[in-house]
Amino acid sequence: MNSIWKTKTGVSGTVTISFGTTLSGDEYTIACENGSLSVSRDKVIVREGEEREGRETVHELKDSSAGVTPEVAAWAKGIQAGKPNPEQAPEKALADLELLEGMLRSGERDGERIVLTRQV
C-alpha cells in the first residue's frame, strides 16, 4: 500500500506498507530532512544526515516484543490499577481504523483525497 499523507500543519510525506515480502522482520523507517529514524523489533537507530555518513546512534530495546502480548499486558495492568491505559482509549482505536479505511477508500477511488476526522 502506498499513500501520501498531509498533516493539519501542512507537513506531507509518503507511507509505503508491504506484507508481501521475503524479508524476515518488521522495520519502520521515518526519513526526515536532517536524518532518519528506524525501528525494528529490538532496536531504534537514529541517523544524523545521510545514511552513508555513518552518524548513527543505536538504542537497544530491552524486553521488547511485538504483537498482542504487550497490548494484553498493558490492558491487564490498567485493570489492576483501576484505570485504563490512555494509549488504549477507544478513540485511539477508531483513529487507527479510520486511517486504514481512508487509505483503502482512497485506493478504491483512484487516489481521491480523503479527509480524516478522528485523528487524536
pLDDT per position as a tens digit, 74-86: 889 999 999 988 8
pLDDT above 80 (res 20): no
Cα 3 to Cα 33: distance, rounded to the nearest angstrom: 19
Average pLDDT, the chain: 86
Grade residue 64 by pLDDT with cuts at 50, 70 and 90. Answer: low
**Using 50, 70 and 90 to split pLDDT, how confident is the model at 50?**
confident
How far apart are the two ends of the chain, measured CA to CA in Å? 23
28: phi > 0 → left, psi -120 to 50 → alpha, else beta; which?
A: beta
The Cα–Cα gap between 48 and 59 comes to 14
